[in-house]
């Protein structure tokens, strides 16, 4: 039986629990936020990797001080995103723990 076949009075019941739509919505928003942050983190890690590879290949023709400052800035953003991701995952875990039927 798929969700569209579930009688409307039972749509918010799972394993005998009543699911509050607001809780499901909050959980879904946290999942989307987690996915967005993971993608941003992955992108930054790839950018840093490309820069490091560029140094390896063309280090003599580059201003290494500028690259160092750039990588440090990217790393700071990466740390901030990882902290934000940690908070989202913590909040998601708390929501899931309180309502362990999600």
- pLDDT category at 31 given cuts 50, 70, 90 is very high
- Alpha helices (H) in 21-63, listed in sequence order: 21-58
Instruction: Tell me if 52 is assigned to some domain.
Output: yes
In a domain, 1, yes or no: no
Q: How many angstroms separate the CA atoms of 96 and 86, rounded?
A: 15
State residue 55's pLDDT score. 95
In a domain, 44, yes or no: yes
Tokens of 89: 């995952």
DSSP state of 7: -
What does the pLDDT read at residue 19? 61
Structure tokens at 6: 């579930």
Q: Can you tell me the mean pLDDT for 20-35? A: 89
Position with higher pLDDT, 1 vs 92: 92
Domain count, the chain: 1
**pTM of the predicted model, to two decimals?**
0.75
| Boundaries of domain holding 34 | 19-98
The mean pLDDT of 12-25, rounded to a whole number, is 64
* Per-residue model confidence (pLDDT) at position 17: 55
């Amino acid at each position: 039986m798929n969700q569209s076949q579930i009688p409307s009075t039972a749509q918010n019941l799972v394993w005998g629990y009543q699911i509050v739509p607001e809780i499901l919505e909050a959980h879904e928003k946290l999942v989307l936020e987690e996915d967005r942050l993971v993608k941003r983190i992955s992108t930054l890690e790839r950018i840093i990797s490309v820069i490091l590879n560029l140094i390896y290949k063309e280090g003599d023709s580059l201003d290494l001080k500028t690259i160092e400052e750039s990588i440090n800035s990217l790393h700071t953003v990466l740390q901030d995103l990882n902290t934000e991701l940690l908070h989202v995952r913590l909040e998601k875990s708390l929501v899931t723990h309180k309502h362990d039927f999600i």
